Amino acid sequence: MKVNQFISDDDEINIRKELEVARSLPAICYTSQEFFSLEEKYVFQKNWLCVGRESQIPNNGDYFTIDILSDPLVIVRGKDNVIRALSRVCKHRWMELVAGKGNTSSFKCPYHEWMYDLAGKLKAAPSMDIEKFDKSKCNLPSLRVEIWQGFIFVNYDDQAISLDQSLSGLNKKLEGYQLSEMISVDPIVYESDWNWKVMVENASEVYHLGLHKNTLISSLPTKSSIIEDNDGPYSFYRIPNKDREPLLTSFTPPNTLNKDQLSEFVLCNVFPHHIMIINPDQMTWIQILPRSATSHTLLFHLCFHPSAFRDKAFFQKEKQSKWFLQQIHDEDIFACQSVQKGLFSRYALPTSFSYLEKSIWQFHNWVLDQFKQVG
Ligand code: FES
Ligand SMILES: [Fe+2]
């Protein structure tokens, strides 16, 4: 299966055009399981994928599990304080070693009790012939890990350029927000029956604010949004408040933010699918875990600065923020499900973009790059 069976030469020319005359990816890229398999190989096995926040595993021995496509992983902070991403499939007969989250000093398989240390090294294999059995060949495979702004990213590709290096331009734009310090709370989880890119695109623009007219009664003049040129695998979308008035906040924002940052919120995507909605006092991190061409698990993680947890009304405010997110997402579910149905239509042709969808145009060009880099 080759990518030009899905994206023709003409499609490519149109995606590469300047925003005003460009066209989107073809609809089949959102519906085909074969195209999804290509994405698995060229997008998800080559790029940095966010699995969680450092703050989820603060102590040595803390771990949580996550499935990336068909790979069950465990993310663990070792006794040496290093965070590792290990396969959690036992090297004996493939049972999952561990589930959920917790704290441990080793991973012992429930099936035949092979035991691994927190770096994935096989330490014990009962009743195996020690003469003929080479324990050193049975360590758990590990992925590359990089911490960026407090997020834990993993990469299957040993050759991939460092995430921090590829995001040096974005790092400058995020200065002052102190994202590394933020702590995430339990997420809101949805099993979602639409393509992962439909979700990325929904969360990448404020062109669709009319959809939320009953929930987002906002003074934000979204038409004056600024979508910056990018110099790496990201988009950065600034939505300033009316007359640059400071935004209303639930908690005190960090004193490192400048006047512009205090009067705007930001939609920021790290491609392929790491999304942050950044307000002066809090951040919503949207985690998308693709499962098939037409499904993914979607998690909304609210993240707060440590000082917010000292606010007496924290739990009430957190509850309120979660409720508000759910109301907005209910409206987005309605749109995304309908878009997915529309994408199966024979009349769903590549579309044109508004200037308020520049972030999607940047994303489509990046997706195309992933296939073109490998020829
Ligand atoms: S499957 Fe894990 S010890 Fe047998
Ligand atoms: Fe929306």
- The CATH number of the domain where 121 resides is what? 2.102.10.10
Q: For residues 365 and 11, is the Cβ–Cβ distance under 8 A?
A: no
Instruction: Give the DSSP H/E element, type plus range, for residue 36.
Output: helix 33-39
One-letter identity of residue 93? R
pLDDT of residue 373: 72
Number of the ligand closest to the Cα of 115:
1
Overall pTM > 0.85: yes
Q: Whose CA is nearest to atom 3 of ligand 1?
A: 112
Tell me the CA–centroid distance for residue 332 and ligand 2, in Å.
Answer: 5
**310: containing domain:** 3-47+169-372
Task: Answer yes or no: is the C-beta of 114 below 6 A from any ligand 1 atom.
Answer: yes
Q: Decide: 109 in ligand 1 pocket, CB within 6 A.
A: yes
Note down pLDDT in tens along the chain; length 375 residues: 689 999 999 999 999 999 999 999 999 999 999 999 999 999 999 999 999 999 999 999 999 999 999 999 999 999 999 999 999 999 999 999 999 999 999 999 999 999 999 999 999 999 998 788 888 999 999 999 999 999 999 999 999 999 999 999 999 999 999 999 999 999 999 999 999 999 999 999 999 988 988 787 666 678 889 999 999 999 999 999 988 999 999 999 999 999 999 999 999 999 999 999 999 999 999 999 999 999 999 999 999 999 999 999 999 999 999 999 999 999 999 999 999 999 999 999 999 999 999 999 999 999 999 998 765
Q: Is residue 164 part of a domain?
A: no
Q: Locate 62 and state its tokens.
A: 């803390």
Residue count (the chain): 375
Domain boundary among 155, 179, 210: 155
Query: Residue 290 in 3-state DSSP?
Result: strand
Provide the pLDDT for residue 223: 86
Final residue belonging to a domain, choices 125, 155, 185: 155
Q: What is the CATH number of the domain that holds 333?
A: 3.90.380.10
Ligand 1: does its nearest atom lie under 6 Å from the Cβ of 112?
yes
Q: Which residue's CA is the nearest one to ligand 1's atom 4?
A: 112
In-domain check, residue 160: no
Q: Is the CB of 92 under 6 A from ligand 1?
A: yes
**Per-residue model confidence (pLDDT) at position 174:** 98
CB atoms within 10 A of CB 266: 20
Residues 127 and 212 reside in one and the same domain: no
Ligand 1 center to 125 CA (angstroms): 9
Ligand 2 mean position to 202 CA, how many Å? 6
* Same domain assignment for residues 66 and 182: no
Residues 192 and 227 in one domain: yes
108 lines ligand 1 (CB under 6 A): no
- Is 95 a pocket residue for ligand 1 (Cβ < 6 Å)? yes
Q: E strand or H helix at 51, and its extent?
A: strand 49-53
Instruction: List all residues 6 or more positions away from 10 whose beta carbon is below 8 Å from its beta carbon.
Output: none
Looking at residue 42, the DSSP 8-state letter turns out to be I
Domain shared by 132 and 264, yes or no: no
27 and 57 inside one domain: no
Structural domains in the chain (count): 2
Q: Is residue 161 part of a domain?
A: no
Judge if 100 and 248 occupy the same domain.
no
pLDDT of residue 204: 95
State which of 87, 93, 128 you would mutate to test the pocket of ligand 1, scoring each by most atoms of that ligand within 8 A of its C-beta: 93
pLDDT value of position 360:
98
- Is 90's C-beta closer than 6 angstroms to any atom of ligand 1? yes
Residues 70 and 38 in one domain: no
Which among 87, 106, 105 has a CA at the least distance from the CA of 96? 87
Judge whether 331 lies within some domain.
yes
Does a structural domain hold residue 124?
A: yes
Q: Is residue 328 assigned to a domain?
A: yes
167-180 pLDDT tens trace: 999 999 999 999 99
Residue 291 lies in a domain: yes
Residue 38 lies in a domain: yes
Q: Which of 106, 126, 155 is the last residue of a domain?
A: 155
One domain, residues 173 and 270 = yes
The verdict on 37 and 139 lying in the same domain is: no
Measured from the Cα of 113, ligand 1's closest atom is 3
Are 239 and 342 contained in the same domain?
yes
Q: Is residue 98 in contact with ligand 1, taking CB distance under 6 Å? A: no
Give the per-residue pLDDT at 361: 98
Q: Which atom of ligand 1 is nearest to the CA of 109?
A: 2
What pLDDT score was predicted for residue 220? 67
Ligand nearest to the CA of 122: 1
**Atom 1 of ligand 1: nearest residue by CA position:** 93
Q: Which atom of ligand 1 is nearest to the CA of 90?
A: 2
Rounded to the nearest angstrom, the gap between the alpha carbon of residue 159 and the centroid of all alpha carbons in its chain is: 21
Domain shared by 54 and 18, yes or no: no
Residues 257, 358 within the same domain? yes
Residue indicated by tokens 């965070």: 83
